[in-house]
Amino acid sequence: MNDIHTKPTNSSTVAYIRTATAEQTGGRIGLERQRRICEQHAYALGQRLGTIYADVGVSGLAEKRPALDQLLLDLACGDIEYVLTADPARLARNQELERRIRDRIGSHGATLAMPEDDRQVTNRKEEI
């Protein structure tokens, strides 16, 4: 898997996956496992997973990450409804950075969703 993202198949639901080292691509937090978790969660939401943004060998403490930066740019287009990630640690390794990323995702009207996280974030405006 490349370190930016795979080709989109459905732009409304995307995933962000990350490992801190290339050696972590397999196992408990491996990229393939994270991808499967996100695919299953998309299915549970009634969605089909499209683009997968993958940072390999990038710390969760890093503010600048190629795939995450591209995801945040792509959100500005307004075509992304859900951003899925396997768990909060894939998004960030400190709460302040996680909050800032969540806020940026929500500011574009997208929902950040994790299968085992009750803190889904959305800034969508509900129609009355």
pLDDT per position as a tens digit, 3-26? 445 444 445 999 999 998 876 656
pLDDT of residue 3: 43
Within 8 A by CB and 6+ apart from 111, the residues are 81, 82, 83, 105, 120, 121, 122, 124
pTM recorded for the entire structure: 0.80
**Interatomic CA distance for residues 98 and 113, integer angstroms:** 13
Class in CATH terms, 13-113? alpha beta
- Mean pLDDT of all residues belonging to the chain: 83
Provide the residue ranges of all domains of the chain, joining segments of one domain with +.
13-113
Could you give the angle at the alpha carbon of 15 between the alpha carbons of 107 and 39, nearest 5°? 135
Q: What percent of the chain has pLDDT over 90?
A: 68
pLDDT at 27 over 90: no
Considering only residues 70 and 7, tell me which one the structure prediction assigns the higher pLDDT.
70
